[in-house]
Amino acid sequence: MASELDPQTLEKLKAAAAAARQAADSAQAYADQFAAGAHGLSGGAIDPFIFRVAIFALAVFVGYYVVWSVKPALHTPLMSVTNAISSVIVVGALLSAGVEVTSADDGAGTARFYGFLALILASVNIFGGFLVTERMLSMFKKKG
């Protein structure tokens, strides 16, 4: 497939992949700093893993209440935005699933597995979102 792309497009894709890796590394660094900060502020009583789990649990509750408080008229535009976000996740999952596995155990196999899993889950989210959006739009069509 790479031979089908012109060199300029290939360079742009490489630059975008490098920027995505840099952003992911930066986000991971911030998460590590927050976790280490909580660990330090608590005098070592809070493990950084527990801090991350607590953030995830809070995100689940906030997400639940935000989604269920959306008015039905706003559901279709919201699903379109969610599909756009999931398409970005698909790009990241493809980058992760395409990591080359070397003979050294450097975690590339794990990255490929989680990339493939993320690709499947994001694809289900996208296709399900399109189905729900189509059903919502059919409610507004005139019958007859």
pLDDT by residue for the chain (144 residues), tens digit each? 444 667 777 777 777 777 777 877 777 777 777 777 777 777 777 777 887 788 888 888 888 887 777 777 676 677 667 777 888 888 888 888 887 776 666 777 888 889 899 999 988 888 887 887 788 778 777 776
Q: What's the domain count of the chain?
A: 2
Q: What is the pTM of this model?
A: 0.48
d(CA 14, CA 98): 13
> Could you report how far apart the first and last alpha carbons of the chain are, in Å?
48
Q: Which of 52, 69, 86 is the last residue of a domain?
A: 69
Q: Which of 69, 95, 111 is the last residue of a domain?
A: 69
Is 17 in the same domain as 56? yes
Going from the C-alpha of 21 to that of each of 16, 27, 96, the distances in angstroms are 9, 10, 10
Q: What is the DSSP letter of 99?
A: P
Is 22 in the same domain as 51? yes
Looking up tokens 């607590």 gives: 54
